[in-house]
Amino acid sequence: MRRNVLPGLRLSLGVTLFYVGLIVVLPLAALVFKAASLGPEDYWRIVSSSRALASYRVTVLSALGATVFNLFFGLALAWVLTRYRFPGWRIVDAMVDLPFALPTAVAGIALTALFTTNGWFGSILADLGIKVAYTPLGIMIAMCFTSLPFIVRTVQPVLEDLDPALEEAALSLGGSDWEIFRKVILPLLTPALLAGVSLSFARSLGEFGAIIFIAGNQPMSTEITALLVFIRLEEYDYQAAAAIASVLLIAAFVMLALTNWMQSRALRYTVRG
Amino acid sequence: MKIRLENVVKTFETFRAVRDVSLTIESGELVALLGPSGSGKTTILRMVAGLEYADGGHIYFGDQDATDIPVRDRGVGFVFQHYALFPHMTVAENIAFGMKVSKVKREKAAIDARVVELLRLVRLEGLGDRFPAQISGGQRQRVALARALSVDPKVLLLDEPFGALDANVRHDLRRWLREIHRELGITTIFVTHDQEEALDLADRVVILKDGHIIQQGTAEEVCRNPQSAFVMKFLGDANVLAAEVRDGKAYASGAAIDVSGMADGKAELYARPADLDWSAQGPGIPASITRVLDRPDGRRVLATTETGDQLEFDVEPERAVKAGEGGFVTLRRAKVFALG
């Protein structure tokens, strides 16, 4: 190991590795172990059953939709919070973290109350012929709510640290507002946006509490994968639960690997040499 | 392009950064705005660029009133203190940026050719594919200049262009900027707090203090004929002695200087270290050496007079002087400014 002037490296390394092992690796290993105790044929049959496939579809598509929505809205919110100071700024800034603080079940119940056909929003939307509660759209809204802070909070500090001289330089070279945003600001925000996207997507995949109230939970249409896992657990079918959960796990891993790779590509310019 | 500032005023909150500045810069001139921090020099430069709007007064580019023309249409090249290169673009992409976003559409081949030409001008051939993080500070500075020149600006504005570089690089870049200016003949204004830089580089030096122009002129004019104690002190090391003016002569610590035409009264006498001579025998101001500082080009002597004044002067490198020695200081020349 490289000698380091700053103290405490080895101890902190040991403590953190032990902690990660205990809290993260061990349960995941147990999950994989449980799933692996099924034969390959049983495993495949369970994870590719039509009910499971339908649940992956609704979960992944809703999570993608929610993440794309949050990508735009979260960026806009971070932009406004960084660039403008308005009355109530502090309140809006604090509210961004609210989805983290609120028990997700509470959020789910509140959203359901708002969006059912006789709720405040739901009744208006129903007049327009849009049904939210007990549809995939409702799942998406619940996911949007719980994963909003990720993108705002990853982009905001980067935006705050952006040297105003960069924009002034682009302005003095004749760039339009849109060109400056697209060619100067956005590329510099991309790594942070990707980090926020991967966190937001991973969170949406695993979200449970906020969704089950608003989703309606109809097998084959509005049943999310996390709920299916829960149902299998209730039935004491631990192996099937672990098998389906492992699919979620793989999906999250693939997403994180993909965004990490994209991030390192976006950060190529920082490599010295 | 001739630039004219007319009674320009700028206030930030309650701080009056620029107060009623009028200044004319001739076409093709290289002008330095020199002053301590807070003197308003950068604010003036940013107002010329259009990065700040003037609260009052007018800025003319040639005969056109440019006061309200936004920066993107003003046609200026601006070099920022810390270069502000786009970190995610290569050197070549940085230089091409202005041409790519320009309203005047250019062929890709024409842009590439211009980038190569500019890279040659700033002597960075072959570095076009590097990212800003991969080149040295001096090289970044030159990329910033090439980028500013890429849009064929009417005026080139540089904010503390060499401030962040070490002394040797700074010296070379100064010569080089002078050459480029001669080659292109573009009207150039730069801001600096370094007197040596301003005097070495500029056709004309504008000295600012508290948002006012205190004095302006060629290096020769401001050096040989400083019109205030501030300019005298700001341009270089100076010894200060309390003086008394009587009948056209200034008396200080036993020395007398001819100041015909000055009214009688209290005054201050300023003398550069090089204007003082040291000898073991009188006549002169009796003093004793407190310290000797050796420098590459000579020896700087710190001495205290019998009246308690601190003096600094230079002697030749081979001259043997040491702390504790006594002797006499004579004034070869000095400037006297009335107090108050």
B211-255 confidence digits (pLDDT tens): 999 999 999 999 999 999 999 999 989 999 888 888 888 888 777
Q: Is the pLDDT of residue B340 over 90?
A: no
Smallest Cβ–Cβ distance between B133 and the set A169, A187, A272 belongs to A272
Q: Is the pLDDT of residue B131 over 90?
A: yes
Measured between CA atoms, the residue of chain A closest to residue B46 is: A168
Instruction: Please state whether beta strands B298-305 and B255-258 pair in parallel, antiparallel, or not at all (unpaired).
Output: unpaired
Which site among B86, B139, B140, B154 would you substitute to test the A interface, given the most A Cβ atoms closer than 10 Å to its Cβ?
A: B86
Distances (CA, A) of B101 to A177, A196, B158: 11, 30, 22
Q: In the structure, how many helices (H) and strands (E) does chain B have?
A: 9, 20
Residue A206 is predicted with a pLDDT of: 87
Smallest Cβ–Cβ distance between B88 and the set A171, A174, A269 belongs to A269
Residue A253 is predicted with a pLDDT of: 87
Percentage, residues of chain B above pLDDT 90 = 56
Write the class of the CATH domain B237-338.
mainly beta
What is the token pair recorded at B169? 């690089």
Q: Is A23 on the interface with B (CB under 8 A)?
A: no
Residue whose tokens read 């049959």? A45
B138-184 confidence digits (pLDDT tens): 899 999 999 999 999 999 999 998 887 888 888 888 888 999 999 99
Q: Which CATH superfamily is domain B3-228 in?
A: P-loop containing nucleotide triphosphate hydrolases (3.40.50.300)
Is there a contact between A100 and A147 (Cβ–Cβ < 8 Å)? no
Residues A229 and A46: their CA atoms lie apart, in Å, by 11
End-to-end CA distance of chain B: 41
Residue B173 is predicted with a pLDDT of: 87
The overall average pLDDT reported for chain B is 90
Percentage, residues of chain B above pLDDT 70 = 100
Q: Is A184 on the interface with B (CB under 8 A)?
A: yes
ipTM: 0.86
Distance from the Cα of A203 to chain B's closest Cα (Å) equals: 30
CA atoms within 13 A on the CB side of A183: 23
Distance from the Cα of B116 to chain A's closest Cα (Å) equals: 18
Amino acid at B57: G
Return the closest-CA partner of residue B189 out of B155, B223, B141, B213: B155
Residue B265 is predicted with a pLDDT of: 86
Q: Return the domain boundaries, chain B.
A: 3-228, 237-338
**Residues in contact with A64: Cβ distance below 8 Å, sequence separation at least 6, in sequence order:** A201
Q: Lowest-pLDDT range, A239-243, B13-17, B301-305?
A: B13-17
Is there a contact between A223 and A58 (Cβ–Cβ < 8 Å)? yes
Residues B98 and B102: their CA atoms lie apart, in Å, by 6
Distance from the Cα of A88 to chain B's closest Cα (Å) equals: 22
Distance from the Cα of A259 to chain B's closest Cα (Å) equals: 18
Contacts of A179 in chain B (CB under 8 A): 101
Residue A268 is predicted with a pLDDT of: 78
Dihedral-angle region of residue B57 (phi above 0 means left; psi in -120 to 50 means alpha; beta otherwise): left
What is the token pair recorded at B222? 């401001």
Which residue stretches of chain B are H helix?
Answer: 41-49, 71-74, 91-101, 108-121, 137-149, 167-184, 195-201, 219-224, 229-235
Measured between CA atoms, the residue of chain A closest to residue B99 is: A173
Residues B181 and A53: their CA atoms lie apart, in Å, by 70
Contacts 24+ apart (CB under 8 A), A104-107: A104/A146, A104/A207, A104/A208, A104/A209, A104/A210, A105/A209, A105/A210, A105/A213, A107/A142, A107/A145, A107/A146, A107/A209, A107/A210
Is there a contact between A170 and A180 (Cβ–Cβ < 8 Å)? yes
Residues 88-127 of B with CB under 8 A from A: 88-89, 97-98, 101-103
DSSP state of B151: T
Distance from the Cα of B78 to chain A's closest Cα (Å) equals: 7
B63-72 confidence digits (pLDDT tens): 899 988 999 8
How big, in percent rounded to 5, are the helix, strand and coil portions of chain B?
Answer: 30, 35, 35
> Omega before B283 cis (within 30°)?
yes
Distance from the Cα of A185 to chain B's closest Cα (Å) equals: 10
Q: Is B150 on the interface with A (CB under 8 A)?
A: yes
Cβ–Cβ gap B73/A172 under 8 Å = no
Radius of gyration of chain B (CA): 24
Q: What is the dihedral of CA B232, B236, B241, B247, to 10 degrees?
A: -40
Cβ–Cβ gap B84/A179 under 8 Å = no
Residue A255 is predicted with a pLDDT of: 86
Q: Is A170 on the interface with B (CB under 8 A)?
A: yes
Q: Is the pLDDT of residue B274 over 70?
A: yes
pLDDT tens track, chain A, 273 positions: 566 677 777 888 889 999 999 998 999 999 888 888 888 899 999 989 999 999 999 999 999 999 999 999 999 999 999 999 999 999 999 999 988 888 988 999 999 999 988 888 888 888 888 888 888 899 999 999 999 999 999 999 999 999 999 999 999 999 999 999 999 999 999 999 999 999 999 999 988 888 998 888 888 888 999 999 999 999 999 999 999 999 988 888 888 898 889 888 888 777 654
Smallest Cβ–Cβ distance between A171 and the set B71, B86, B102 belongs to B71
Smallest Cβ–Cβ distance between A173 and the set B81, B87, B97 belongs to B97
Q: Is the pLDDT of residue B59 over 90?
A: yes
Instruction: Please state whether beta strands B204-209 and B30-34 pair in parallel, antiparallel, or not at all (unpaired).
Output: parallel
Q: Is B71 on the interface with A (CB under 8 A)?
A: yes
DSSP state of B133: G
Is there a contact between B38 and B209 (Cβ–Cβ < 8 Å)? no
- Domains, chain A, in order of start with CATH, read 38-267 (1.10.3720.10)
A96-149 confidence digits (pLDDT tens): 998 888 898 899 999 999 998 888 888 888 888 888 888 889 999 999 999 999
Smallest Cβ–Cβ distance between B80 and the set A169, A187, A270 belongs to A169
